[in-house]
């Protein structure tokens, strides 16, 4: 699956500081996500999940089941799952940007939350510092979940949790998390190398097409822009608008907002994608078409927008079967493409002629 960055952006008309801050209106991203590292998903590493989850379907319940061992289990994961060698490998393949999903518990302690909250930021620091200083990469710090749950899914806090919406207490803790992220970036030696993503796929009910709490999400993003701007207005905020595009949201923000829209396109869901129409849908549904689909996506979104972000990057070993050929790991692991010398986006130039 490819997470795609929209071509439509608002960029603050601000004088740059001595450091060169990223201009998303001209930047071309070739990005991968480091999913399954600082936030856990059952599908990313099914072997690890089977060993440690004790039947849980989300990180929240994994920690409940692990009890006092939750911290040691997760810290071993943080220390070993993503390494500097992984960063070297994706850079070798032309990647210039990392999106790093984190739980809100990485940034703020919330009473009653079962998510582990302690040393995630130190592990983040080791990898992002290496990526930035060694390879001049840009890093998106993604707050992938928010207190009380933003979408009822495991990635939003826990399965069945929708309580973030219209919840002032949850909003306050969310903004505390953003304050922590902003402080971390501002106190680094390279604040120009970061973008903040303060929410991921907010949906207030099980029907994605019937999302109904735009006003609450808008209130949050406007508060994030205000708080980040007071610390450093040059730090961009990236907004995944609950599957509503730039056209839906842009008029609700000031033209001067330092805001970039992140559009998630799921080609495997509800699109009628097959191996035969693979390049039409930019999907990967059969082995023979996977390379063509990957390169078509990389080429098309580099040419017509600000680039693309592949989910996920260094490691994906999920064993779920797909409608076509192979398992999910054959399509969701960017290292598969690297190791098999399959990344050649120029080959797709005729597809988008």
What CATH number is associated with residue 91? 3.20.20.80
More confident residue, 176 or 276: 176
Which of the residue ranges 104-113, 236-245, 292-301 has the most confident prediction, judged by mean pLDDT? 104-113
Q: Whole-angstrom Cα distance, residue 34 to residue 327?
A: 20
**Tokens read off for 85:** 């060698």
Q: What percent of the chain has pLDDT over 90?
A: 60
The CA-atom distances, in angstroms, between 123 and each of 16, 17, 101, 150 are 30, 28, 13, 25
Domain count, the chain: 1
Please state, rounded to an integer, the average pLDDT across all residues of the chain: 82
**Tokens read off for 331:** 């399509």
Asked if residue 6 belongs to a domain, the reply is: no
Q: Are strands 259-264 and 2-10 parallel, antiparallel or unpaired?
A: antiparallel
What is the pLDDT averaged over residues 274-288?
Answer: 45
- The residues facing 321 across adjacent strands are 327
Asked if residue 160 belongs to a domain, the reply is: yes
Asked if residue 109 belongs to a domain, the reply is: yes
Residues 13-56 have pLDDT tens digits of 333 345 799 999 999 888 899 999 999 999 999 999 999 999 99
Asked if residue 116 belongs to a domain, the reply is: yes
Asked if residue 90 belongs to a domain, the reply is: yes
What is the pLDDT averaged over residues 72-85?
Answer: 97
Nearest one of 167, 149, 142 to 61, comparing CA atoms: 149
User: By residue range, what is the domain housing residue 105?
Assistant: 29-267+307-348
Give the predicted TM-score (pTM) of the model.
Answer: 0.76
Asked if residue 10 belongs to a domain, the reply is: no
Q: What percent of the chain has pLDDT over 70?
A: 67
């Amino acid at each position: 699956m490819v997470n795609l960055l929209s071509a439509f952006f608002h960029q603050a008309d601000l004088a740059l500081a001595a450091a060169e801050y990223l201009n998303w209106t001209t930047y071309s991203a070739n990005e991968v996500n480091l999913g399954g590292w600082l936030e856990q998903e059952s599908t990313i590493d099914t072997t690890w999940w089977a060993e440690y989850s004790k039947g849980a379907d989300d990180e929240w319940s994994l920690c409940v089941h692990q009890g006092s061992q939750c911290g040691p289990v997760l810290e071993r994961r943080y220390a070993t799952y993503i390494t500097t060698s992984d960063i070297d490998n994706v850079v070798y393949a032309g990647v210039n940007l990392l999106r790093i999903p984190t739980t809100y518990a990485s940034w703020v302690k919330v009473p009653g939350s079962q998510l582990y909250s302690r040393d995630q930021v130190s592990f983040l620091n080791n990898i992002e510092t290496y990526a930035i200083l060694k390879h001049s990469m840009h890093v998106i710090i993604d707050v992938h979940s928010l207190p009380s749950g933003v979408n009822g899914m495991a990635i939003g806090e826990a399965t069945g949790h929708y309580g973030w919406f219209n919840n002032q207490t949850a909003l306050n803790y969310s903004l505390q998390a953003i304050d922590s992220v902003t402080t971390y970036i501002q106190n680094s030696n390279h604040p120009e190398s970061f973008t903040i993503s303060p929410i991921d796929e907010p949906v207030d009910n099980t029907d994605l097409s019937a999302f109904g709490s735009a006003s609450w999400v808008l209130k949050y993003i406007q508060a994030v822009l205000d708080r980040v701007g007071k610390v450093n207005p040059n730090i961009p905020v990236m907004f995944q608008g609950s599957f509503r595009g730039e056209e839906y949201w842009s008029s609700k923000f000031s033209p001067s907002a330092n805001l970039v829209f992140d559009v998630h396109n799921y080609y495997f869901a509800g699109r009628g994608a097959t191996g035969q129409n693979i390049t039409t849908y930019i999907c990967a549904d059969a082995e023979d078409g996977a390379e063509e689909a990957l390169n078509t996506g990389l080429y098309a979104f580099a040419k017509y927008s600000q680039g693309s972000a592949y989910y996920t990057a260094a490691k994906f070993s999920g064993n779920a079967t797909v409608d076509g050929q192979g398992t999910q790991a054959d399509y969701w692991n960017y290292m598969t493409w690297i190791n098999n010398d399959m990344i050649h986006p120029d080959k797709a130039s005729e597809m988008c002629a």
